[in-house]
A = this chain, B = another copy of it.
């Protein structure tokens, strides 16, 4: 039996990828709700998926018993309540990151997951979409760089002021920079260290260049350091990708072990090789470049199987909540709130 999903919440363009990946994983899209804060995404969704049923009445999707999964890229601060509504109707939920933007929402989602037995999953980029990150995890697990010492991740993003909806500019609706962007990096750190906890050693948020934004308090720089018994994770995230870069951000990761290290150039190789997903491995015997572009990442397929088999192979529910919790704690630490 083919599992069916519906899309409710097309406020961020990430919804394109979520939808396509689930279709590629063998699921059927039963329809999508065409109400949004972001007309660019409405146009883009229609253009990319002209064959998918467009639905004006949200309840038709929410109440359809043949739909087992709700996918959402709604306004971040509204994803949790949408997820709760869906789970109470017997549906699993796959949310664009950040899935959860407040501790109260995290507690509510946790309790509804426990009450309903449904899954609440968030698409973290390193895990679901980066073949170079997947290869790095495999190398670390094989002991290619000895014991893990540290990870350092840099996540620059292009501001794209002209096409951003209002909610993008407000930490209350976007979830704050440490939660919105940082959750990818927290997921990657926990995943690589094989843990579901870490101490937040340091967290800071800055507003550096308010002249570039329609508000005076947009968080354009964030940084965190996490530490657990395995490694230290330094994370940077910001909105300063210049227009002369060929992609939306020059995402990097440096993974240091006792016997070697790995560098990832996820988006592109500056003034160098074509494309993205470049991995560099240095061990005690060699230095090599391992191209990973085009290598399939199995996570969406594993997630689709999990929905059917009620397993948690793509990501455990506990891990997902741990990422959300740590991101919120980091934000609290940074803002003193």
Partner of A240, one of B152, B208, B261, B263: B261
Interface residues of A, dominant DSSP: strand
Pair B147/A209 contact, Cβ less than 8 Å: yes
Partner of A244, one of B201, B221, B284: B284
Residues from chain B with a CB closer than 8 A to the CB of A31 are none
Stretch at the interface among A11-19, A111-119, A250-258: A250-258
Residues from chain B with a CB closer than 8 A to the CB of A270 are 263, 280, 282, 287, 289
Residues from chain B with a CB closer than 8 A to the CB of A263 are 270
Contact with B along A229-272 (1 / 0, CB 8 A): 00010101010101111100010001011111101000000111
Binding site for B on A (CB under 8 A): 145, 147, 149-150, 152, 154, 156, 201-202, 204, 206, 208-209, 212, 221, 223, 225, 227, 232, 234, 236, 238, 240, 242-246, 250, 254, 256-261, 263, 270-272, 280, 282-289
Pair B232/A223 contact, Cβ less than 8 Å: yes
Residues from chain B with a CB closer than 8 A to the CB of A259 are 242
Pair B245/A271 contact, Cβ less than 8 Å: no
Q: A202-B225, A225-B223 are in contact. Are A287 and B258 (CB under 8 A)?
A: no
The docked-state distance in angstroms from the alpha carbon of A240 to that of B256 is 8
| Nearest CB on B from A149, distance (A) | 5
Residues from chain B with a CB closer than 8 A to the CB of A156 are 256, 261
